[in-house]
Structure 1
Amino acid sequence: MTMFVGLDVHKEYHHATVMDEDGEILRRQRFPNSLEEVKSFFSDIDDGKVALEASYFWKPVYDELEEMGFEVKLAHPRKTRVIADEKIKTDLRASEALAQLLRMDWLPETYVPPADIRELRELLRRRVSLVESRTKYKNKIQAELTKRRIDLEGTPWHGPWLSQLEDLEIDSVEDYMAIVRSLNERIDRIEKEVKEKAEEREEVMLIKSITGFSYFSAMTIYASIGEKDRFPGPKELCSYFGVIPSTEQSGGKEKHGGITKEGDNYVRRVLNQCAWSHVNNSDSYITEFFERLKRRKGKPIAITAAARKLVVAIYWMLEREEKFRPGG
């Protein structure tokens, strides 16, 4: 008999509900978040499916359960709550709702990329986190200079400007600079690793062939897509990146609004930055489209539409295994 397990994952403890094929609850349990406790709870479940919600702590639990041989499904948090409220009609606890939705095949799943793509995403996020930290300490240094009315010559954080900064002998600045140097070393190491991994992946190098995309941005888009075959066409990929207009229907009429902004905000921001770089440094058909639309609709709408065209181009480049063609 197949057992259906709903697992509500938290930092310190997990809440679990085991249900049989008829919907009868066989066991409810709260246990500490550790590999030993997870193994102990699942030790007497031979044939089971597990559902857990996509939260901050899902990844290690998901990997542990997969290694133990279970079929694991990751639930989409927002959609799960909507369906639980609409279809189950009871005030079930989270783990119970997950088990019930899994049993009834109503569980709205979210995509779980392969392990190597998950590792890439973690590497890219770590680089982003380190860059944000470095920016924070650079801003602190700038604030110290402003406070002392010190105006250094040259471009900030380059050549002569840095030399003048190091000659100031201000304790607070030296402390912050020590952190900046340390972060620089770690960021450089990660960027070197990203470049090496990018050059090993044909898909990343295809994306990088578009003017405006660096190793890092191309890898970010690639890692976000994961397995391209999960998208039937370019429209679905644009929807995934949240760069399609929202649509409202009323009285038989359709009204289009701003973009849906579905998906990862950070990845969409990277895509937008690449779109700006592309239209400023390329004479492609996308740039021509941007310039035409900019005159009618303004820059913000035009750049979003250009980003959408870039996503369509990326889809067909990956589908056909071709580099970007500026002429379309």
Structure 2
Amino acid sequence: MKYSGIDLHSNNSVVSVTDEADRVVAEKRLPNDLPKILAFLSPWRVELAGVVVESTYNWYWLVDGLQAAGFTVHLANTTAIKKYDGLKHSGDETDARYLAQLLRLGILPTGTILPPEQRAMRDLARKRMQLVRSRTSHILAVENITGRQQGTRLSCNQIRRLTTDAIGQMPLPADVALAIQANVAVITTLSTQIDVLEKRLQQIVKPRAEYALLNTVPGIGQTLATTILLETGPIERFARAANFASYARCVDSQHTSNGKKKGEGNTRNGNKYLAWAFIEAANLALRYCAEAKQFYERKKVRTNSIVATKALAHKLARACFHILKEHKPFDVTRCFS
């Protein structure tokens, strides 16, 4: 049996093939060209137990191409892999061999490889979030300019309704007005594109029963339900609610020994988009759900507002897991009992 590890970079990859004794059978640095990588691996296609690819920013093309060619592919969870710090030498070749060795030993931490169409939908939602953040930065820029020039800031809604004529009538120096016009032009363009993406996302998620069920959770509306649904993927990949809450970064990361805290682990291990979604949901639930508010206040008395908000986010994450797993609407008694 043979094992392969690929250390993937932006423009090249180191491909290593090892045997059951971790001896290198073949190894080569290749350009990021799928036919060349497939040609290099083809002599061991039948013997290969699997090919391990690092979960880098650019893995889509390689994993999809290898799977289409009939290879068994594993996506390595790089945040969960730590090499021995005492190594005298480490490089791309040793990294590729190490991935193959972890696969042989059966201890390779892996990530889920979603089908291309599901990844495309999820990435579209992420693109919307990127545009919204960009629009917010331009809105804040206009608020700051008007605050400096006039002593009072325009509201977000006022800024989004600004026109060239309205800016021209404001008592501002010509160059300052030009700066605001530039910001407003970008805001208008971004708003148009955000509307386009939101309409497409609604076409994708609205027919799904899980989307309607998520909307029954306090604090979760159209945008958050879309984010949670697409970022979660198949709920079956999480064995328990605790696993899902951990993936959503709603669980503390800490190292303990003899009952004492000795440090923290990788606090960023998980999905940052789900972490954002559940914190947003917790803040909104505080406004509209009496039971959520009561839970928050009980936690706040014993801890502080930040910990209490995260505890509420954890509750909502577990509730969403059960909703997606059992296909039942939100149960406020079960959540906050």
What TM-score do the two structures reach when normalised by structure 2?
0.84
- Relative distance call for 1:268 and 1:277 in structure 2 (3 A) is same
Q: 2: distance between equivalents of 1:177 and 1:161? A: 9
Hey, what does 1:297 align to over in structure 2?
A: 303
- SS class of match (1:93): helix
Q: 2: distance between equivalents of 1:292 and 1:129? A: 35
Q: 2: distance between equivalents of 1:248 and 1:171? A: 54
Are the equivalent residues in 1 in contact too, given 2:282–2:312 (CA < 8 A)?
Answer: yes
1:318 aligns with 2:324: yes
- SS class of match (1:52): strand
Amino acid at match of 1:111: T
Are the equivalent residues in 1 in contact too, given 2:210–2:229 (CA < 8 A)?
Answer: yes
Hey, what does 2:216 align to over in structure 1?
A: 209
- Relative distance call for 1:160 and 1:56 in structure 2 (3 A) is closer
Deviations 1:193-252 (A, max 9, x none): 12222212212221121121122211212223222122222222222222224454333x
Identical amino acids, percent of aligned pairs: 26
- Relative distance call for 1:196 and 1:144 in structure 2 (3 A) is same
1:177 aligns with 2:184: yes
1:120 aligns with 2:121: yes
Hey, what does 2:94 align to over in structure 1?
A: 93
Are the equivalent residues in 1 in contact too, given 2:245–2:314 (CA < 8 A)?
Answer: yes
Deviations 1:154-186 (A, max 9, x none): 633338962533655733322332222111111
Q: 1: distance between equivalents of 2:17 and 2:229? A: 37
- Relative distance call for 1:157 and 1:166 in structure 2 (3 A) is farther
1:155 aligns with 2:161: no
Hey, what does 1:145 align to over in structure 2?
A: 146
Q: 1: distance between equivalents of 2:22 and 2:104? A: 7
Paired residues in the alignment total: 322
Q: 1: distance between equivalents of 2:31 and 2:141? A: 41
Hey, what does 2:74 align to over in structure 1?
A: 73
Mean Cα deviation higher: 183-192 or 15-24? 15-24
Hey, what does 1:11 align to over in structure 2?
A: 10
Give RMSD over aligned pairs.
2.9
Hey, what does 2:241 align to over in structure 1?
A: 234
Amino acid at match of 1:18: V
Q: 2: distance between equivalents of 1:283 and 1:257? A: 36
- Relative distance call for 1:180 and 1:166 in structure 2 (3 A) is farther
1:224 aligns with 2:226: no
- Relative distance call for 1:89 and 1:290 in structure 2 (3 A) is same
Q: CA deviation at 1:320?
A: 2.1
Q: CA deviation at 1:306?
A: 1.0
Q: 2: distance between equivalents of 1:72 and 1:196? A: 32
Q: CA deviation at 1:143?
A: 4.1
Q: 1: distance between equivalents of 2:63 and 2:312? A: 37
Are the equivalent residues in 2 in contact too, given 1:156–1:162 (CA < 8 A)?
Answer: no
- Relative distance call for 1:80 and 1:162 in structure 2 (3 A) is same
Q: 2: distance between equivalents of 1:283 and 1:213? A: 15
Are the equivalent residues in 2 in contact too, given 1:5–1:99 (CA < 8 A)?
Answer: yes
- Relative distance call for 1:161 and 1:258 in structure 2 (3 A) is farther
Hey, what does 1:37 align to over in structure 2?
A: 36
Q: CA deviation at 1:275?
A: 0.5
Q: 2: distance between equivalents of 1:123 and 1:290? A: 33
Hey, what does 2:167 align to over in structure 1?
A: 165
- Relative distance call for 1:295 and 1:27 in structure 2 (3 A) is same
Mean Cα deviation higher: 161-170 or 2-11? 161-170
Deviations 1:52-86 (A, max 9, x none): 1111111221111111111000112133233xx28
What TM-score do the two structures reach when normalised by structure 1?
0.86
Deviations 1:271-320 (A, max 9, x none): 11111101211123x33222222233232121111111111211222222
Amino acid at match of 1:165: I
Are the equivalent residues in 2 in contact too, given 1:246–1:256 (CA < 8 A)?
Answer: no
